[in-house]
Structure 1
Amino acid sequence: MPVNETLATYSDWAYGTAVVIYVLAMIFFLVEQAMHRAPGKAKLEVEAKQLATVGGPAELDDTNDTEDTDDSDEPEAPKADRGDRIGRMGFALLVLGALLHLGAVLARGFATERVPWGNMYEYGSAVCLVAVIAWIVLIRSFPVRRLTAFVLLPIVVLMFLGGTVLYTAAAPVQPALQSYWLVIHVSAAASASGILLVPGVASVLYLVKSANEKNPARFGRFAGRLPALDVLDRIAYRTTIIAFPVFTFGVVCGAIWAESAWGRFWNWDPKETCALVAWVIYAAYLHARATAGWRGTKAAAINVLGFAAMVFNLFFINLVTAGLHSYAGLG
């Protein structure tokens, strides 16, 4: 099947432009983060009320108010107002980058007349797009806009590697991948991986802030500017709840496709095994939260471990090891 080279070129241009805009958005959000003061009790109460509107009881943790606190209800200085304006500009850039990113994915699909996740470059692009969209949705529900730079950092790194080291010219997929399961299985895997990037970053920041609570000299004012521990914990938990069923569906679909292609539901291929390990870790995280009530450092550490397993599966398994999935270059 012929490839529309014009659309493929437009897709590459949109991809590169999206990366540049994401970098610019990161700069704006870093400036907003630098201009933000550590929240005092009045600020924490506002964040708690916002969390209550999202659902669940709002819990305040007085230990989060350890440095640079201000108990007054007076409005912040014009410096904070400028920071807010810069943050809104960064958000506008983020949305623009997401639209260009979406255009790049769609143009690649129309250029090849197939789903646009047939190789590592396309799969990584789809994962990053899902992560950006998930974060944009979360910004509308949680007071975490100023953390966008930390979420964009792994996305920009992944997209840079995808556009350079992993780039593949637009072309039809191999015959082994010309199956409707490519649409179902890989779309579920990409969606779950993209969403799970968000709780991974949130849990890392949780561990940073928690460590700073025990030793304020470790991360200093940086940790003081992070949202309350309860906010980070809720983001990690709620996004994982959404992504885990999608991830489970993707694993099940992969087993069915394996039986159709290779005659067995499970082959203990390195990629299958690593996906199972990640699934078990996330299942343990959700089980611990639901039964043992883990909401602290232990739960965050499990979530970070699950995220590390996902990244390991995405890059190391695909690029270093050899297995049944090696020919595909898929995530």
Structure 2
Amino acid sequence: MNTDMGAYVNETLGRLSDEFYTAAVILYAVAMALFLVALAMQVKAKTVVGAAAQEQARELVAAGASSTPEADPAPALDARTPGKISGPPVRRRPRSARLSAAVYPVVFLGLAAHIASIVLRGYATDRMPWGNMYEFISLTSAACVAGGLVALRKTSYRPMMSFVLLPVVLMMYIGGTALYTQAAPVVPALKSYWLAIHVSVISISSGILLVSGVLSVLFLIKQRWPEKSSMLPSSESLDRVAYKCVVVGFPLLGLGIVFGAIWAESSWGRYWGWDPKETVSFISWVVYAAYLHARATVGWRTAAAWINVAGFVTLLFNLFAINLVVSGLHSYAGL
């Protein structure tokens, strides 16, 4: 039990939190890999069906099949049950769909372990568990996974979680290795109730907007290589879901910036000082406002997707570069 800085730290709960964090990363990585396998199986199945259809068409042409539709043959009697007409064969779901359905609960299990890690971290330090880069990345990643599960809840969309889990696994790996910080009290400047309000809102909005950015990247891939990306949903579906994520995340980002300005006034005596973190956050807000405007303009869907990807880049830059490279009043990486 650590009592540095006069604060209570339960080291046992801290270690348990780290174990749940590791379990969440592993579960996310396994789910991501299996979703990618399901997508590969889907592509292979479409290729086989397409080849079979072409072969059948060539056989019909070779046999001189008439283009006039023939009358339907009389229904066949089921030999096993006299007098019973046999119906069409029962179609089973493709193996890719069955695999996706089996993998989807793994993501929920990973999210449960992830949330347990965050909660235990809070109990271990007796504070809100997002006071350094490691904890902030953990909360943002959890929000991203939760947002992805909601946005991609339709059965046909579920394999797209693999692309959402990819940045999550990378961020959590970096957070759990290079940026890891043991459970400890926060610096005095962060001992405020605004830590619970401002940082949580910013983190949740960032997680939701990251989902939107991933979907816009997939939209652009679908637009550029439609044949090679046949496993993806339609461009319209990807664009629509990405837009819905921004509609939710954008006002939360604005609220987070406002809450941060109020906290800055109480801590530093001014609402806004163009600190690097504040500046890039404002740039992100402007970029997403531009996206919503472009998205509402006829014929600007592709341009809007590029703007959304730009917003995605600014979020990642603000998350890593500003906290780790640029020195400012928000440099609380905990490293």
TM-score normalised by length of structure 1: 0.83
Q: 1:94 to 1:264 in 2, by over 3 A?
A: same
1:299 match:
304
1:187 match:
200
Question: 14, 31, 34: which one pairs with 1:28?
Answer: 34
Q: Partners of 1:112 and 1:69 in 2: how far apart?
A: 62
The answer to whether the aligner puts 1:287 opposite 2:296 as a matched pair is: no
Q: How many residues align?
A: 292
Contact 2:294 2:303 in 1 (8 A): no
Question: 210, 227, 230: which one pairs with 1:197?
Answer: 210
Q: Which amino acid in 2 is paired with 1:31? A: V
Question: 209, 221, 227: which one pairs with 2:222?
Answer: 209
Q: Partners of 1:309 and 1:75 in 2: how far apart?
A: 53
Q: Report deviation, 1:37.
A: 4.1
Contact 1:39 1:225 in 2 (8 A): no
TM-score normalised by length of structure 2: 0.82
Q: Partners of 1:93 and 1:2 in 2: how far apart?
A: 34
1:49 match:
none
**Which 5+ residue runs of structure 1 have no aligned equivalent?**
41-66
1:329 match:
333
Q: 1:309 to 1:132 in 2, by over 3 A?
A: same
1:159 match:
172
Q: 1:176 to 1:294 in 2, by over 3 A?
A: farther
Q: 1:68 to 1:107 in 2, by over 3 A?
A: farther
1:308 match:
313
The answer to whether the aligner puts 1:227 opposite 2:237 as a matched pair is: no
Q: Report deviation, 1:141.
A: 4.2
Question: 3, 7, 16: which one pairs with 2:22?
Answer: 16
Where do 1:53-92 residues align within 5 Å? Answer: 81-92=94-105
1:115 match:
128
The answer to whether the aligner puts 1:264 opposite 2:277 as a matched pair is: no
Q: Secondary structure at the match of 1:267?
A: coil
Q: 1:211 to 1:171 in 2, by over 3 A?
A: same
1:102 match:
115
Cα deviations across residues 8-63 of structure 1 (Å, max 9, x unaligned)?
111000000110111111111011101114999xxxxxxxxxxxxxxxxxxxxxxx
Q: Secondary structure at the match of 1:153?
A: helix
Q: Report deviation, 1:89.
A: 1.9
**Which 5+ residue runs of structure 2 have no aligned equivalent?**
1-6, 54-87
Q: Partners of 2:167 and 2:90 in 1: how far apart?
A: 32
Q: Which amino acid in 2 is paired with 1:315? A: F
Q: CA RMSD in A?
A: 2.3
Q: 1:210 to 1:68 in 2, by over 3 A?
A: farther
1:277 match:
283
Q: Which amino acid in 1 is paired with 2:165? A: L
Query: Percent of counterpart pairs with the same letter?
Result: 48
Cα deviations across residues 135-188 of structure 1 (Å, max 9, x unaligned)?
111232473111111110000000000000000000111111000110110011
Question: 115, 124, 134: which one pairs with 2:147?
Answer: 134
Q: Partners of 2:156 and 2:300 in 1: how far apart?
A: 19
Contact 2:164 2:214 in 1 (8 A): yes
Q: Report deviation, 1:81.
A: 2.2
Contact 1:121 1:168 in 2 (8 A): yes
Contact 2:149 2:161 in 1 (8 A): no
Q: Partners of 1:139 and 1:324 in 2: how far apart?
A: 37
Q: Partners of 1:9 and 1:3 in 2: how far apart?
A: 11
